[in-house]
Structure 1
């Protein structure tokens, strides 16, 4: 075996490459932008809504799958912690899971304690 042979399953074109492993391979597919005038960097696009939150999706576009109570409590707990400025650490996820398995009354009290609402 003195000759170099290509691997039989090697990609033959850039479109065969995995975009997650080779993201730069797809940059050639992007349209080129015209050069900026006088070497100045292009201006960022102006926000259309000037800081207003985006409109909610249409009811027809929303998922029709209801959340399990445990998943809803987890989202509520993460939202309460984020609002209070508390970032859960990776080791806290087991405790969050245990707290989300509690009933709704306990979960409401827990959120009230976190947000210090009366």
Structure 2
């Protein structure tokens, strides 16, 4: 079987990276200098402690191979409302190596 080849008369010209017909207005966008890009998170306010604990519980369960199901969300929400000491114990129990 022969491999397909482009006929010599059908030479294509590479399109610009931002084709103005495919992305209208792309040719008028100024490039952002690499030094002007934000490097940190874009949050303007810190997480609430309960939100941080909720994310930590989700991450610990997923890392332990027990991804939370939709039915678990209420329990995770309730557990994340507990204090930091209790949450640290939960995380220690979830991530303990047996």
Report if TM-score (shorter chain) is over 0.5. Answer: yes
State the shift of 1:87 in Å. 1.3
User: Among 78, 84, 88, which residue is 2:58 paired with?
Assistant: 78
Residue 90 (1) aligns with residue 63 (2): no
Mapped to 1, the partners of 2:82 and 2:22 lie a distance apart of 50
- The count of corresponding residues between Structure 1 and Structure 2 is 64
Matched residues in 2 for 1:101 and 1:30: separation?
A: 48
Instruction: Show the counterpart of 1:49.
Output: none
Moved over 6 A (4+): none
Instruction: Between the two structures, name the one with larger relative contact order (CA 8 Å, sep ≥ 6).
Output: 2
Q: Give the SS at the match of 2:47.
A: coil
Unaligned runs of 5+ in 2: 1-20, 24-37
Partner of 1:106, secondary structure, is helix
TM-score w.r.t. length of structure 1? 0.48
Within the candidate set 14, 26, 39, 1:58 is matched to 39
Separation in structure 1 between the aligned mates of residue 92 and residue 22 of structure 2, nearest angstrom = 49
Q: Given the two structures, how large is their TM-score scaled by the length of structure 2?
A: 0.58
